[in-house]
Structure 1
Amino acid sequence: MTKNKKAQLNTALIMILSLIIVGGTIYFTYDKISNVEEKVSLIEYEKFIQNLDLEIKDFNDGRRKGSSEVIELKVPKGIKQICFVDRENKRDELLSPELENQFEVMFDNNLFIEPFDVPSNKIEKFHLDENNNPLCVETNKFLTIKLEKNTNYTEISSLQNLEEQEKDCIAILENGKDNIDLVFIGNDYVDNNELMADVNKYLETLKEKEPFKSNLEHFNAYIKTGNAGCETKGYIKCNNYELKKKVSDCPNDYIMVLSKRSKTKDALIPLRSSSVANIVKVNTADDELVLIHEFGHSFANLWDEYVDDAYLSQYIDDVEDLPNCDGIGCDEWYKVENTSCYKGCSLSNFYRAIENSIMNNYRKDSGKEFGPVNEKIILKNIELYK
């Protein structure tokens, strides 16, 4: 063998060894990443179970008999189906041999996941009708179920995709007659299930903020399928007469138009949310608090607590017409705890009770609550329905 050929052979061997080392490193790295992903998936699964258990417990403990609500929870990737089993009621043992096997082995659990190698769990305070026991719900990124409060427990039922519903008006929160009826209708949505996800998102913000949080039993909520037919050119322009006709088969004290919009498009061409009388029009690319900001206008006649002299001076004659604003000294709320007298409330010469609130700049961390004065005003309006 010549010296040159020997050198070539050594070079080839070095290259092969290098490829083996690189390949092994890549495999080892991929294997580690896969293990990390599995752990993240397990963490997401455990969080999902905790959230589901908490939703059912909170509903069961906090709602009166006859109340119902649709809940939607994001499901970890890889879960195809979720099966609830009521161990205290008669069940269909032939529905799924795999499920029945899990049921017998995990003798105390009542929540089973497909694929069945995912750990089963136990959740509290639910009941199934014997005709739907077990109740297996297919998931497509989300679990959507209906909760209904009976005397001592919460009954769970599945909710078909909105596209499969025969009814045009879908009840998602029911607390009986003579309550405040909110109807949601989408604008420019192509997927009704996406509409339901957004409606649930806005209802969650309503449920989290006082005084709505403590008075949720005075509200009903519905989804009207179909398109609102509003124009979007700088603001959301609807034919109010036609809009009211479209939602007429739903109870509709207040109409909530959700105009679907991407954050990218909105950054280039902003779209203004607004409210007129009992109609609230929301740009979904805005902060989630935009809906209850606009609802504050519509429901409780709350005015903006930021200053816009050029625009708002056209509509304001006297500070007495603005329930959440006052003149120098702030006599309206000087006895109310945790209030002060900050200059600027719709107009620069009016005053507001707190530095920031949902009726001011809700995008800031300091503006995530209504504040004591606004809460009191909203509560007075809720009490009209009690």
Structure 2
Amino acid sequence: MLLSLAGLPDFFRAQGIINLHFPELIPLDNYARPAGPVVNRLDDWYQSLLKKLIDRDSEVAVTEDQLSKDSIENIHVFTTEPECDFVFQVLDKAYLEWMNSTSANDRLRLLVFPPCDHSNRVTSWAEGNRLDVLAAPDRSELLSGDLVKVTIPAGSGPLVIPKLEDWFIRHHRGLRYIRTLLAALQDTSRHCLVSCNSWCWVYLKKAVNADLVLPVPDSLAPMNAEILGKWLLELMSEELQQPATFCDHNNGKEILRCEEDGTISDKFMQQLANDSGGIPWIAWQLWCRSLRTEAERDDQSDNTEEPEKQQASGDKGIVFWTIRNQPPRLPRGHEHAACLLSQALLIHGSLPEQMLSAVLPPATGESSLIVALIRSGFVECHGDEIRCLATADPVIWTSLANSGMTMARF
């Protein structure tokens, strides 16, 4: 069953899919990375051997030199990160009733959010609900020797304190604000929702015993292949106004295909869910990076195409091909230093380059390392700060784990 993307929302609503199976909040300790596709190692070895013995290009449906990313970059849904409205709905369901309660025994809640949330969704959610937000101090103050004072503002309504990663610097002089904030939270009678990213939480538990003050954290449940596929289809259906098909460029098989019973199941989506950790904005970045369309050919080439193939292509509307991008590689000979820098950026969310020297061991050579990591596709400059790229998250995760570093849940 081939569905036009333009008609997908109505189809999903008829099947009871939209707004029904999106992930909810779960205890952080219950988070588990979605499983990748089952690998038949013997079959993989056999297919690999075949490719070595015969012309590889004869085995693929479309070779990469026949594909182009140019047209993808002109389609809004593939170039603008989605707001993930369902996340706001999840937060509404989880916290609005609690915030309106008067219980003095349940004043604090902690939300540990996935990394690479460059849209600051918790802040946006709080502002959208007209909740008070306590802003972090300016980063220039975090390493100063001035006396620190943090006051929870008076008020009858709930208070949201997003991004604890902005309240400290990983330095022996950089923890005064976060310690003072935690002390103030112990004394307040106001309902407070505190949030931070998963790497920040691992650090704060060790550095300032934050888990003794704050409650057991909630987190966003991971999106499995089924949920992820339906979400991506819904996103694209809002923009693409003609039928579209997604195919693996290696074998031509359709992926992201909604069957008659409303299910979506293919190895590509299973691998995407695993690579992204089930985190929607990371999955979206990886998905868009994998998409290609067939490159435009000259008139002579178009005229010589077999009529049957032209008809088949027309029936499918737009055909998007997916490729497996080569993952970025850490600078050779500087892998450990690159892991230290990546971990520091994940803990803090982002940092100005001049502050990296305060959180990294001496002789790391962060200035040259940043240039190399930008060139390799691991980090990017955003304003005057450096941050990890979402598309590099799978490689960073694997590299940090292989280096024996303390790992976040996601």
Band the TM-score falls in, shorter-chain normalisation: under 0.3
Give the number of the structure with larger relative contact order, counting CA–CA contacts within 8 Å between residues 6 or more apart: 2
Normalized against structure 1, the TM-score is what?
0.23
Q: Which has the higher helix share?
A: 2
State the structure with more CA Rg.
1
